[in-house]
Homo-oligomer: A and B are copies of this chain.
């Protein structure tokens, strides 16, 4: 039925629990339903540009990977065939190696690519399609849940679970010692993880990028709780949270080019200010990459599996240039054009935020008095 006999599979960007479920489902359903061969491309787009970075994927290679975090194919945060960072005589230069990538695909007999990645990775997929006519099918991946074209993606729930477990654990110490506990979670632009884990963990305040915070309000919230008998407070801080009129703190590494600039210190900054304002002991936990790890939740495993099967179905039926997505509880697809460049942010007036406010969670926004 399918004319495509050999597909490539590539995972790009930050890792995400559920990637292996996608890989396993692509391999199993491609073989079972379409008799396709599947070539695994290693370390994201690096595997297209550099030789020797592919492997054949059969039943044996995907055995036992379903409950494992990470991606057996490896990934890369920065590899872009249109602007590859190459070291030349001790300096890092950017080179367009896209033609080479397409040539390699042909040599390997790869007729179509299933590309699993976030906005950046899928933009490159679209560019490969637009410039070279490469047949691509996209699978959305974003731990932050900030792609507007899909209701939710795998990995997000697992991250929320890990963060909520941390908030749960902080409760007992906070209560026993009358402290302010701050926990910093992922979310540079979108506060979804903070919102979900804060609500689920019973936080008293949640600071997210979409709602700039007024530090005085947070101080007053904590003092008001104290006055009414709750001598502790739990504050969830998205890494991209920023004060009203201010901006998020970026830690840059001008002397260490191998380090990406990154956000950092949002929770510590809030803690320093709050301990001055309220004279209460504050303690900070920075969850960092443990939010990306661990065995995927059953929901994330199943969503990854369904995405993988759906992507192969698209490839088998010639539906290229599209990305699979979740709408309601069903799997659908959109064009790559619709898929990229549209970030889904928390709506400060939306139902989730209003529900959080209704149960007393404070976002500490300026007009929120």
Please list the residues of chain A having a beta carbon within 8 angstroms of any beta carbon in chain B: 14-15, 17, 19, 24-25, 28-29, 32-33, 43, 66-71, 74-77, 151-152, 157, 160-162, 164-166, 168-173, 175-178, 181, 196-197, 199-202, 256, 258-260, 275-276, 279-290, 292-295, 297-299, 301-302, 305-306, 309-310, 312, 327-331, 351-352, 354-355, 358-360
Contacts and interface: CB of A to CB of B under 8 A. Distances in A.
A70 B24 CA distance: 22
B293 A173 contact: yes
Contact of A301 (B178, B199, B260, B287): B199
Contact of A302 (B199, B258, B281): B199
A113 to B, nearest CB: 19
In the A-B complex, the 3 residue pairs with the smallest Cβ-Cβ separation, listed nearest first, are A169-B293, A70-B172, A69-B172
Given A160-B298, A298-B200, A355-B306, A173 B292 contact: yes
Contacts of A279: 258
Given A256-B276, A258-B280, 12 more contacts: A19-B176, A28-B358, A74-B175, A77-B177, A161-B298, A170-B289, A173-B289, A200-B298, A200-B301, A284-B286, A285-B289, A310-B355
Contact of A169 (B32, B260, B294, B312): B294
Contacts of A74: 175-178
B355 A75 contact: no
A199 B302 CA distance: 7
A74 B176 CA distance: 4
A292 B281 CA distance: 16
13 contacts: A25-B358, A28-B359, A68-B172, A69-B171, A70-B175, A71-B176, A74-B178, A164-B301, A196-B302, A200-B302, A283-B289, A285-B289, A331-B351
A77 B179 CA distance: 11
Given A177-B77, A280-B258, A301-B200, A286 B289 contact: no
B281 A285 contact: no
Contact of A151 (B66, B258, B329): B329
A202 B295 CA distance: 13
Nearest to A358: B29
A328 B331 contact: no
Given A66-B202, A71-B176, A75-B177, A32 B290 contact: no
A202 B298 contact: no
A318 to B, nearest CB: 18
B290 A170 contact: yes
Q: Most B CB atoms within 10 A — which of A199, A330, A355?
A: A355
Contacts of A295: 168
Contacts of A327: 328
Given A66-B202, A70-B175, A352-B306, A288 B283 contact: yes
Contacts of A289: 169-170, 173, 181, 283, 285
A285 B280 contact: no
A360 B201 CA distance: 33
Contacts of A69: 169, 171-173
B309 A164 contact: no
Contact of A259 (B68, B275, B331, B352): B275
A293 B172 contact: yes
Contacts of A176: 15, 19, 70-71, 74-75
A33 to B, nearest CB: 5
Nearest to A359: B28
A283 B359 CA distance: 36
